[in-house]
Amino acid sequence: MKIVVLAAGTSTERTVSIVSGTGICKALRSLGHQAILVDVFAGWEDVDVQTAFDDDYDVDELAAYIRGFNDKIPEMKKTRREFFGPKVLDLCREADIVFLALHGSNGEDGRVQAAFDLMGIRYTGTDYISSAISMDKSRTKQVFDASGVSTPHGCTVYRGETRKTAEEFGLELPVIIKPCCGGSSVGVTICHTEKDVEAGLALAFSLEQSAVIEEFIQGREFTCAVIDGKAYPIVEIHPKEGYYDFTNKYKAGATIETCPAQISEEKTAEMQNLAVKGAAAVGMQAYGRLDFLMRDGDEKLYCLEVNTLPGMTPTSLVPQEAAAVGIDYAHLCQLMIEVSLKKYND
């Protein structure tokens, strides 16, 4: 198949996306696919669209070329109105499918998916509606609450909000504040004092217009992939220091990840069932990953969010879960394509 692996973009998760895209592109090429790595925003000015998939590229060199735009993105955004870079859409139209290796806004939030739907471009992952719901933590919480999926109590706050304390939001300290549409824990603050709350809101609003403030659940962290409606083995995430923030997610050796998680069969089944239920609640198709907390003491489970385009480096969480059931990285990428194509069979 001719496959565009679409990565990078303009979000705070650009660098992570490039790593995911590089791994995916290499894996698909190893299976014989004509895969090319493309920066959705910077594009590929001098490529010949008609021969692009036939040429033999060094994926690492392509990735280095894309990383070369990292420091230029802010200025490029100021001088450009369009999101898709030079020849990106031409390449995507030429492909049999686009493998979305994008993370964060303008990629995981449904806008790219909606554009592709209008242009008849096939892509991996879920559709634009469930992408948009899942990207917005506020909307996800509303859907979870309406569907009976347990999630921490909290509320949405907007830039310009006059309330500044947990008490004014009807919550008790400690609380956690998250930008509504951010990812990789960028801009997240755990607040133990009211001064922390004020600082956390300021940080969140420096990144976005809205944020979620919710009760802080002390407990163990887990994640569970759902692929084609089936829950995969659970991963327990144990940061050596602090919580699972950006540094602990991407710094080598900062986090211990155990798969399958060392929990009872009953708790495993409960979490997997909740993952399938949560995925269905937001309308997730094809594949995704759901994050959980198990509260210390009573072991109550809380579903935190849905990741519709989860990290896909070779050592990311979903590849670990697939490996636990005998699916290697390359064939996981192949599986993601196959389940995504089911969207177009109706």
Active site residue 147: no
Amino acid 239: pLDDT: 79
Three-state SS at 151: coil
- Which of 10-19, 179-188, 335-344 tops mean pLDDT? 335-344
Active site residue 221: no
Which of these is catalytic: 134, 184, 236, 340? 184
CATH 3.30.1490.20, domain 153-215, yes or no: yes
Please, are residues 107 and 21 in contact by the beta-carbon 8 Å criterion? no
- Least confident residue range of 36-45, 152-161, 262-271, 298-307: 152-161
CATH fold of 219-342, please?
Answer: D-amino Acid Aminotransferase; Chain A, domain 1 (3.30.470)
Q: Where are the alpha helices (DSSP H) in the chain?
A: 14-30, 59-67, 73-79, 88-94, 111-119, 128-135, 137-147, 194-207, 246-250, 265-282, 317-324, 329-341
Amino acid 251: pLDDT: 56
- Least confident residue range of 99-108, 137-146, 244-253: 244-253
Q: What is the pLDDT of residues 217-276, one digit of tens each?
A: 999 999 999 999 999 999 999 977 765 555 545 555 678 999 999 999 999 999 999 999
Judged on CB neighbours under 10 Å (0-12, 13-18, 19+), 93 is middle
List beta partners, residue 35: 3
Amino acid 296: pLDDT: 96
Amino acid 217: pLDDT: 96
CATH numeric code, 2-123: 3.40.50.20
Q: Describe the strand order of the beta sheet including 2-7 as a list of residue ranges.
A: 34-39, 2-7, 97-100
**pLDDT classification of 56: cutoffs 50, 70, 90:** confident
Q: What is the pLDDT of residues 149-196, one digit of tens each?
A: 999 999 999 998 888 889 999 999 999 999 988 665 678 999 999 999
Amino acid 184: pLDDT: 55
Residues near 327 by beta carbon (within 8 Å), at least 6 away in sequence: 335
Domain with CATH 3.40.50.20 in the chain: 2-123
Residues within the annotated binding site?
291, 305, 307
> Mean pLDDT in the chain?
93
Amino acid 249: pLDDT: 54
Active site residue 13: yes
Return the higher-pLDDT residue of 200 and 161.
200
Which of these is catalytic: 13, 108, 236, 321? 13
Residues within the annotated binding site for Mg(2+)?
291, 305, 307
Q: How far is CA 113 from CA 124, 176, 223, 338, in A?
A: 9, 30, 25, 17
Q: What global pTM score does this model have? A: 0.92
pLDDT, average across residues 72-81: 92
% the chain with pLDDT above 90: 85
Domain with CATH 3.30.1490.20 in the chain: 153-215
Amino acid 55: pLDDT: 84
Amino acid 183: pLDDT: 61
Domain with CATH 3.30.470.20 in the chain: 219-342
Which of these is catalytic: 214, 316, 321, 340? 316
**pLDDT classification of 308: cutoffs 50, 70, 90:** very high
